[in-house]
Structure 1
Amino acid sequence: MSYTLDRADLADLARGAALLGTGGGGDPYIGRLLVDQALKETGRTITVLDPAELDDDMFVIPTAQMGAPTVMVEKIPRGDEAVIALRTLERHLGRRADATMPIECGGINSMIPLLVAAHTGLPVVDADGMGRAFPELQMETFSVYGVPGSPLAIGGENDEMVIIDTGHDNKRMEWLARGITIRMGGVAHIAEYSMTGADVKRTAVPNTLTLGLRIGRALRTARAEHRDPIAALAATMADTLYNKVRVLFRGKVVDVERRTEAGFARGNATLEAFDGDGKLELTFQNEHLVARVNGEVRCVVPDLICVLDIDTAEPITTEGLRYGQRAVVVGISTPDLMRSPEALAVFGPRAFGLDVEFRPVEELVPE
């Protein structure tokens, strides 16, 4: 069912999107502030469209930010760059968008289409192409199931406009766009994967904005009522496509190694159990890719690895990890369309150079 989103919903959505970002995707707090300011200035609310209700011939252009999350902490967007990218792509295609949509539901890219909607009045489709956050543009269910990302438009903070068209080669599209983004200062805004309503229904992970809202509300309410937020999270996910939640580890952050490299935030983090008996090691490229407890894999991409503050249950991003933080690390199953052989070839562990085979988190950590 379609519905209206307003400023009061943004804090919960940002919290849920931070969790779905699996540590990456850019801090949605900054995106939340940008959307809130735009809605305040325009007086608009945002219409969120259920993908099941889309007309097959509806024209949808997803919008997003790309770049290293560590850069965005210091390089806050002006606010209209994604609109520039959208309008540039519309001119190139000779067709106006009927709606926009996230390419990923995690992190700041849950917010960028809302920012576009606040400025333009376009509705936003309640779906995305990652079901979480991934670091590269070809890592989309859109791409896996046959939608070309090209042509892609990039909008920069100095009103630069770039069109990239690599046909059906979405990986090369990512490579070229990453180079341009680096030269724009490490962060840029894009419009890509233009598609019909029929394509959305066939290739997108459905109702993920709603999922982010539900997660954010559940964590907030559990904290206010002094209930276990992890139990509340598991209960919230039970009737969704993400219905397996496993606690992987509880402990303190004892080491973080992080670097910005080739347009990505890469690194490792180590947590030590509170009793000193056991360690968890995280490897990330913008997002957490694999969690190992005492050397054994407990969760691996594309399943979600989420680090939460143990007292508040607020998600901690990879750029926010610090020595001494007390955290609980949670693994969450991804939808089946993200676990197919075709999907794993694009965003499974081997796609990141990991010498690990994918196994579902519910098998690695049985109840």
Structure 2
Amino acid sequence: MHIDKAALGDLACGAAFLGSGGGGDPYHNRLIGEARIARQGPFQLIGLDALADDALVAPCGWIGAPAVSIEKLPNGSEAARGLRRLEQLLGRRVDAVLPIEIGGGNALAPLLAAAELGIPVVDADGMGRAFPESQMSIFSIRGLSACPSVLTGPCGSLAVIETPDNHAHERLARQLSIALGGDAHMVEYPLTGRQAKDHAIPGSISTAIAAGAAIRAARANGAAPFEALFAALRGSRLYPFAGVLFDGKIVDLEREIRDGFSCGNIVIEGFGGAGRMDLAFQNENLVARRDGTVCAMTPDIITIMDRETADAITTDRLKYGQRVKVVGAAAPWMLREAHALALVGPAAFGMADPYIPIETLNPWRTA
């Protein structure tokens, strides 16, 4: 499969939704990707089954506060420099890359790196959405090491990270990203082809493209874009339940950069006196409460979208007065297992609420 200009736009749209508010705004990477397609042709996308078992696969993406990336643009060489350094460390060529997370701009970043090295992108990712911390990947959940990893900044700085565990890796990488201005590129969790087949979340890139394409087609045909999105997600089988959680206007917003993350709270007032919704985020939206009652929580996806266009609004793009729909979707099943919830569920973010699946909390669960 190849990703041409139209598919790239669909990927940007679908990945923005799957980011649950995080992963970075895909706009800048989309522009760079379109320019590269114009010069070199479409990006190459392969399935997990196309990998040799002994292939070297490099997950990669950006680490830092998404709000920083709006004003502090990359120089364009960070990913390729990181991948080439990994090749030096391991003494062999990288055969393919994949996104460490499918959410937001991080879904597109590996395409640009792959084109620079002349290698394909694998139709899979490491999170099935976006999460704020490195150890929240499926590879860490399944016991794989993030190291050696390579972190690069736009100023030319490069650091190789080796730590005894993945929590220590996240802490060190986070502090380095802060020192580099709050945003840096990281190549991590180097995998064999066999490990990628066994553990990566399959089909997430093609699912994001299908979701974006469904929204685009609905707009063009005067159909309902939200219903088109939900149908595409259900058809993927990765995200079997999806629906609208709330409809209203943003009336309060608190956002700050804290410890290398974009953190804050959002208040949405429902139309026609339909109550209110409160959301908390750490790069990504973590929990949504409707009139004080939880209606969605991590690892399930919570995305704020423009109520007319169905454009996903990342947490760094939220503004007072925006008229929005809050949309939820079930996370991939592997993120809902008990050992996974210890790393990506509510308790991992200090919340006392026990995890309850989004389809149990909402009336559209049987749709």
Tell me the TM-score range normalised by the shorter chain: over 0.9
Q: 1:37 aligns with which of 35, 38, 54?
A: 35
The Cα of 1:98 is off from its aligned counterpart by 0.5
- 1:209 counterpart = 2:205: yes
What does residue 227 of structure 1 align with?
223
Greater Cα shift, 220-229 or 126-135: 220-229
Q: Distance in 2 between matches of 1:216 and 1:49?
A: 19
User: How do 1:1-367 and structure 2 match up within 5 A?
Assistant: 3-41=1-39, 43-167=40-164, 169-240=165-236, 241-367=238-364
The Cα of 1:88 is off from its aligned counterpart by 1.1
Q: Distance in 2 between matches of 1:89 and 1:98?
A: 12
Q: Distance in 2 between matches of 1:78 and 1:163?
A: 20
Q: How big is each residue's C-alpha offset from its partner over 1:198-232, in whole Å with a ceiling of 9 and x where there is no partner?
A: 11111111111101100111111111212111111
Identity %: 47
Q: Distance in 2 between matches of 1:20 and 1:124?
A: 18
Q: Distance in 2 between matches of 1:260 and 1:289?
A: 16
Kept after mapping to 1: 8 A contact 2:305/2:324: yes
Q: How big is each residue's C-alpha offset from its partner over 1:173-220, in whole Å with a ceiling of 9 and x where there is no partner?
A: 010011011010111111110011111111111111101100111111
Q: Distance in 1 between matches of 2:195 and 2:290?
A: 40
The Cα of 1:18 is off from its aligned counterpart by 0.4
The Cα of 1:139 is off from its aligned counterpart by 0.5
The Cα of 1:53 is off from its aligned counterpart by 3.0
Q: Distance in 1 between matches of 2:46 and 2:2?
A: 9
The Cα of 1:237 is off from its aligned counterpart by 1.4
The Cα of 1:278 is off from its aligned counterpart by 0.3
Greater Cα shift, 45-54 or 312-321: 45-54
RMSD of equivalent CA atoms: 1.1
Greater Cα shift, 300-309 or 228-237: 228-237
Q: Distance in 1 between matches of 2:322 and 2:155?
A: 38
Kept after mapping to 2: 8 A contact 1:51/1:125: yes
Greater Cα shift, 53-62 or 293-302: 53-62
Q: Distance in 2 between matches of 1:66 and 1:11?
A: 23
The Cα of 1:138 is off from its aligned counterpart by 0.5
Q: Distance in 1 between matches of 2:158 and 2:41?
A: 27
Q: Distance in 2 between matches of 1:346 and 1:52?
A: 28
The Cα of 1:12 is off from its aligned counterpart by 1.1
Please tell me the residue identity of whatever aligns with 1:158. C
The Cα of 1:45 is off from its aligned counterpart by 2.4
The Cα of 1:162 is off from its aligned counterpart by 0.5
Kept after mapping to 2: 8 A contact 1:35/1:118: no
Q: Distance in 1 between matches of 2:211 and 2:255?
A: 28
**Counterpart of 1:354 in 2: which secondary structure?**
coil
Kept after mapping to 2: 8 A contact 1:258/1:266: yes
Q: Distance in 1 between matches of 2:77 and 2:6?
A: 22
Q: Distance in 1 between matches of 2:45 and 2:29?
A: 17
Please tell me the residue identity of whatever aligns with 2:254. E
Please tell me the residue identity of whatever aligns with 2:89. H
Q: Distance in 1 between matches of 2:37 and 2:115?
A: 6
The Cα of 1:108 is off from its aligned counterpart by 0.9
The Cα of 1:34 is off from its aligned counterpart by 2.0
Greater share of helix residues, 1 or 2? 2
The Cα of 1:86 is off from its aligned counterpart by 0.9
Kept after mapping to 2: 8 A contact 1:38/1:119: no
Please tell me the residue identity of whatever aligns with 1:174. E
Which sections of structure 2, spanning at least 5 residues, go unmatched? none
Please tell me the residue identity of whatever aligns with 1:170. N
Q: Distance in 2 between matches of 1:54 and 1:129?
A: 16
Kept after mapping to 2: 8 A contact 1:300/1:358: yes
Q: Distance in 1 between matches of 2:176 and 2:339?
A: 28
Please tell me the residue identity of whatever aligns with 1:350. A
Kept after mapping to 1: 8 A contact 2:212/2:229: no
Kept after mapping to 1: 8 A contact 2:62/2:106: yes
Greater Cα shift, 6-15 or 313-322: 6-15
The Cα of 1:276 is off from its aligned counterpart by 2.4
